[in-house]
Every structure is written in C-alpha cells, then in structure tokens.
C-alpha cells in the first residue's frame, strides 16, 4: 500500500503533538493504521503503550481490523476504543464500577419522567411525543456536562433558568441515590479522578505513552480536557480530523477545538491530507466552493485523483411527491445500467424529510434500508386523531376512539362517562342526564360526526380543523406541552394535502392502514446489500456511495429553520458538505418549488455551489 507525501509525513511522525487535517476520502484510516505499524516496527514502541481512540464502537472495530490487515497475522496488544469505553475502563479500575452502575437509556428516561412529574413540570406528552420530550431533556442535560458548564450559572432558554437547574440537580441527586452514572458522567468522573489523584494519573500516563485520536473534530470540551491530562507530560498526541466535517454541535463538539489544539500545543506539527481518493473532480470542486463560505475553518485546497466525469446535477421539482417519483425514475435508470442498489443512497436533513419518499418506495415495492427510524406521517398523533374522527363518523364506536377525541377540542366529557366496551352518544346523555349544557355539547358532537360522514377526506379534515376547532386545540396543546405549533400544523397540512385525491373516508382509512403495513415491511429486516440506503446527513458521516441523492434541498430544511446564528449556519453548511462528499461518481441534489401549497426556495447552499468566496 503506497502512501502519498503527506500521508508518509504523518505516518513517520514520532514524538510530540501532531494535528493531521484529513479531508474527505483522503485515506485517514489507512494513515492511522500505517502510523501504528511505523511506531511499532520502526520506532520500537511497545504495542501496549499505544492507545487509539475514536467515537463509535463500529469505528473502533473497523480501525482495529484495518490495523490487523496492515500488520498481517500478528495480533498485538494495541488498545482500540471509544472515549466512553476507555474512560469507563479507567473508572472500573479505580472505583470497581460494573454494568449495574450504568444508567441505561430507558432508566434515564424513566428517571427524568419521574423527576419532572415530582416537580409538577409541564404535562409530559404520551406515546412517541413523550419519548421525544424526554430525549430533548436528556440532550439538554448532556450538553451542560459535555461542555463542562456550571449548573449554578447555566441558563436554559428552552426550559427556563430556575426550573431546569432544579430538575438537573434533582436528577443528579436521584442518580446518586440509586448508585448510577449516566453516559456523560464517565467523562466528568474521569477528569475529576485525574485532577484529584495525580498518582493514578501518572500510572495511566505511563501505560499509554502514544495516543492517537480519530475524528478529532467531534471531540467535546470534557473529552479534550481528559485526553490532554492523559497525554502529558510527553504529549505524544496524534490527532486526525477535519474541521469542515464537525457536525455534532448538539453533543458539545466544536470545530474551534482543532484551532485551540494549535494554541495549546504551539510546537505541534500540522499536516494536511489534501488528496481526495473518493470523489470526482466536479464533486470535490463543488463541495469546496460551498464550504469556502464558512469563516471559522482552516483554509484548504483539496485535489482529486479522479476524472471530472459528470457534473453535479441540480433538479427542480414541483413538490415532494414529484421529487420521490423523480428519485425512483433515476434509481431504475441506474439499476438498468448495472449500478447495485446498495451503492445508491438518499440523504436528507431530518428523518421527516424522507416521509413521502419512503412511502413512495414502499408503494412501488422497491427495497430500501432506513438506518434511522422515521416516524412517517400516518404515525403522527394528528393523523391518529383524524382516524378516530372518521371511524366515529362512520358509526364504528369504540371507547378508545371516543376517549381520544372527546376533548380534542375541549368538550368537558370525562372518561368515567364512557363505560367499558362500546361507547355511544346515548351513554353520554345518560351519564350527563342532569346537565343541560352537557346535553347540548353531546348533541353538537353527534351532529358534527354526521356532517363529517358525507364529506371527502380533504373536506372532512378541513371541517374538523376549522368548524370543530381542532386547530385551536392544537395551539393550546402545543403551548401547554412546550411543542412547536408550526411544526405540528405543517404535518397536519401535509396529511390534509395528501388526502386530496381520495374520495371517501373508508378509502382513506384503508389507505392509511395499508401504508403503515408497507412502511413496516420496507424498513424492517432489510439488509443494506439488497437495498437503497436512506440516511440523515448526520447518519451518513463516514460512509460513501457511487451515487448520492440529496433531497429537500430547500431553505428552511438545509440550513434548518432553527439555525439562526452565524455559528449555527456554519454547522449546517458543514453538514451539507459532509452529505455532498459521500458521493463517489454521481451527485444529484433536488429541491421542491412548493410544500403544502406554499412556495419554497432552494437552499442558499445550492446557490453557493456556483460561487466560491
């Protein structure tokens, strides 16, 4: 395996700190594996003194396998692991921790739910919404820890300063009471151990004299603090990364740490792997033009060994449905040309952006593999509400359906008014026999169901929203539970829009059920080697495909509408850059002209494809 000049320079680096800026497809994994070999064979470093750290178990396993291929049959005691795995190992050694001390994700969510309930926090949503609420809360707590913020001075804009601080402290107290630590605690406790016990730190410093860190751009402040302590005093710290691919700001990762590294180690050697072996010249040059608009970055000029071949294709389509049909058309063209399905990937900013696409693939019975679960549109709670309304209007009375929508909007109908089993308006009237005002409400409820019965699905949803008052209910619901009303409304708009070509309520209910079944079949037990891969841009990091489709390339999607500050926009641009550089030979970017009847514009990043700074 021959190395280029920059790779050889990185491989042969021996003592002291070194920063390797590795652009996309520049052979960084091979470079790290060859460097370990060089340390052992040329510099006679003992294998057990070498520590290689990356961010996922999969990446650590892949790195170890690559190293073993480089070394041949020899199995050497080089340590490969993730930050959390290595730091947990140190804590096990120091404190005798075991698996029973680790707080599992489900346990963490239960603990947060219990803590929030005890504080009489805003009402916690149910079902999928509950999980999303607890996930966001968990990430907010993790963000405080990963960045090393002091909770006494930390101000949460989303949850309120004092309520969040109280919840954080109660969560920590309860965790200590049950003798558990969470994911982020491994980092904090390891830093605390090293700062309090320099004698123990010295033992680990002597054990790991040479440290290599992959994907350094993804490091957070606490991880960086600990790795600096561990590398001292020799500082044989070899870090590899690309500040242009730093996309995990929500986990505390900051590309600026790569710049801080050179300030902390001014004597560090800086090496740039600037040859892209993956993508064609048009893809590399286009991606470089986009990323050049970021200000907080190391300046780079990336070259490629590949021919220019086809240019990046930008496709304008009317709407999401036309976009999905276009992708399927291109998929069929490429498969006829002999491109394997597993060498094609569809990338999108967030999982909901793939809803229509995944449903269209399922309807056309085209195998696809979805790495991250997407809650498709018919799983959303607003769709479930519409189903309940439709079934009741068709005379299919069930207690569960009646309970679900009885107070959506508020009608003041209690659960106790509905006996077990079949529910009916007669039962409600009997229960409220002595309340004339409730009799009137029940009558209006029944009359509304009769009005819905003869309408098309589109008109029925419109009636429920406007005349029954469902949209007003959603506003109150979103406000009470701290949800984004506009996002919920957008999903319901889409449900209503897609009901426009269906003539009866019965047909719509059947369509929804059929789509749910097809989606389940399309995403479960599908192996990547037999299917097109669907990925979020975050999930595509580190992967590569012959052909890449980037869908929903619209302003408000990428960059995401919540990205407001310059720092947030720059991270969104890095995310788009990562998505672009997954493509080896063909990159197709599409954007829609309208969504739910409203005009939309292409992403600013698409415009930047044609103009460099």
Its pTM stands at: 0.80
Q: Is the pLDDT of residue 104 over 50?
A: yes
Q: What is the residue-wise DSSP string for 130-198?
A: HHHHHHHHHHHHHHHHHTT--TTT---TTT-HHHHHHHHHHHHHHHHHTT-B-HHHHHHHHHHHHHH-H
Q: Taking a C-beta distance cutoff of 8 angstroms, is the pair 147, 252 a contact?
A: yes
pLDDT, residue 562, reads 84
Q: Taking a C-beta distance cutoff of 8 angstroms, is the pair 124, 130 a contact?
A: yes
Summary count for the chain: helices (H), strands (E) = 24, 16
User: Pick the residue with more confidence: 521 or 155?
Assistant: 155
What does the pLDDT look like over 264-295, one tens digit per residue?
999 999 999 999 999 999 999 999 999 999 99
Name 359's bridge partners: none
Determine the average pLDDT of the residues in 552-570. Answer: 92
What is the spatial distance between Cα 492 and Cα 471, in angstroms, rounded to a whole number?
9
- Residue 524 — pLDDT band, cuts 50, 70, 90? very low
What does the pLDDT look like over 132-173, one tens digit per residue?
778 888 888 888 888 888 998 888 877 888 888 998 999 999
Would strands 594-595 and 598-599 be described as parallel, antiparallel, or unpaired? antiparallel
- Residue 468 — pLDDT band, cuts 50, 70, 90? very high
User: Pick the residue with more confidence: 31 or 595?
Assistant: 31
What does the pLDDT look like over 37-86, one tens digit per residue?
999 999 999 999 999 999 888 888 989 999 988 888 777 899 999 998 99
Q: Taking a C-beta distance cutoff of 8 angstroms, is the pair 125, 481 a contact?
A: yes
Helix ranges restricted to H, 15-148: 28-41, 57-71, 83-95, 105-118, 127-146
Q: Taking a C-beta distance cutoff of 8 angstroms, is the pair 393, 505 a contact?
A: yes
pLDDT, residue 521, reads 59
The candidate with the shortest Cα–Cα distance to 571, out of 300, 214, 293, 348, is: 293
pLDDT, residue 390, reads 94
Q: What is the DSSP letter of 469?
A: -
Structure token pair of residue 304: 């490629």
Q: At what angle do helices 281-291 and 566-580 cross, to 10 degrees?
A: 180
What is the spatial distance between Cα 206 and Cα 314, in angstroms, rounded to a whole number?
54
pLDDT, residue 126, reads 60
Cα→Cα distances 394→50, 141, 168, 389, 611, Å:
70, 47, 48, 9, 57
Name 50's bridge partners: 210
pLDDT, residue 434, reads 85
What is the spatial distance between Cα 607 and Cα 610, in angstroms, rounded to a whole number?
6
């Amino acid at each position: 395996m021959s190395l280029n000049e920059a790779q050889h320079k990185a491989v042969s680096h021996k003592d002291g700190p070194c920063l390797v800026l590795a652009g996309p497809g520049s052979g960084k994994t091979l470079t790290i594996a060859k460097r370990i070999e060089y340390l052992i064979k040329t510099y006679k470093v003992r294998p057990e003194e070498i520590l290689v750290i990356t961010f996922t178990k999969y990446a650590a396993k892949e790195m170890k396998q690559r190293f073993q291929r480089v070394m041949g049959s020899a199995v050497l005691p080089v340590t490969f692991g993730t930050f959390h795995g290595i730091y947990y190992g140190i804590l096990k050694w120091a404190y005798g921790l075991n698996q029973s001390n680790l707080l599992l994700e489900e346990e963490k969510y239960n603990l947060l739910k219990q803590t929030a309930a005890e504080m009489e926090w805003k009402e916690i949503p149910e079902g999928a919404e509950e999980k999303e609420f607890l996930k966001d809360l968990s990430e907010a707590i993790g963000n405080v820890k990963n960045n090393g913020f002091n909770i006494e001075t930390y101000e949460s804009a989303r949850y309120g300063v004092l309520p969040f601080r109280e919840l954080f402290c109660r969560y920590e107290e309860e965790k200590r009471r049950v003798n558990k630590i969470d994911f982020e605690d491994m980092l904090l406790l390891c830093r605390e151990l090293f700062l309090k016990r320099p004698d123990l730190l010295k033992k680990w410093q002597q054990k790991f004299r040479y440290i290599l860190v992959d994907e350094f751009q993804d490091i957070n402040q606490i991880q960086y603090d600990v790795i600096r302590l561990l590398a001292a005093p020799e500082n044989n710290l070899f870090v590899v990364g690309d500040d242009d691919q730093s996309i995990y700001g929500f986990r505390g990762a900051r590309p600026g740490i790569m710049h801080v590294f050179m300030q902390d180690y001014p004597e560090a050697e800086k090496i740039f792997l600037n040859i892209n072996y993956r993508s064609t010249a048009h893809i590399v040059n286009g991606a470089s033009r986009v990323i050049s608009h970021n200000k907080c970055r190391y300046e780079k000029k990336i070259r490629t060994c590949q021919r220019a071949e086809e240019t990046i294709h930008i496709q304008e389509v009317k709407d999401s449905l036309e976009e999905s049909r276009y992708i399927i058309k291109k998929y069929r063209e490429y498969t006829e040309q002999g491109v394997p399905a597993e060498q094609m990937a569809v990338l999108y900013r967030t999982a909901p952006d793939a809803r229509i696409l995944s449903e269209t693939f399922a309807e056309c019975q085209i195998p696809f593999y979805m790495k991250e679960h997407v809650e498709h549109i018919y799983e959303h709670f607003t769709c479930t509400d519409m189903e309940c309304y439709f079934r009741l209007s068709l005379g299919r009375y069930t207690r569960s359906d009646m309970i679900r929508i009885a107070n959506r909007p508020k009608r003041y109908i209690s659960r106790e008014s509905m006996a077990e089993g079949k529910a009916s308006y007669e039962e409600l009237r009997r229960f409220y026999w002595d309340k004339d005002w409730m009799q009137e409400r029940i009558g209006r409820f029944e009359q509304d169901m009769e009005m819905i019965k003869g309408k098309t699905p589109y008109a029925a949803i419109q009636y429920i929203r406007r005349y029954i008052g469902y949209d007003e209910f959603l506003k109150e619901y979103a406000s009470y539970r701290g949800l984004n009303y506009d996002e919920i409304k957008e999903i319901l708009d889409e449900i209503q829009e897609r009901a426009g070509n269906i003539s009866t309520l019965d047909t719509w209910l059947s369509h929804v059920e059929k789509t749910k079944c097809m989606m389940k079949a399309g995403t479960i037990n599908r192996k990547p080697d037999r299917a097109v891969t669907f990925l979020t841009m975050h999930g595509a990091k580190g992967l590569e495909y012959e052909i890449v489709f980037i869908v929903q390339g619209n302003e408000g999607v990428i960059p995401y509408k919540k990205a407001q500050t310059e720092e947030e926009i720059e991270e969104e641009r890095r995310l788009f850059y990562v998505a672009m550089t997954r493509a080896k030979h063909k990159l197709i970017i599409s954007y829609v002209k309208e969504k739910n009847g409203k005009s939309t514009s292409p992403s600013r990043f698409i415009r930047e494809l044609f103009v460099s700074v």
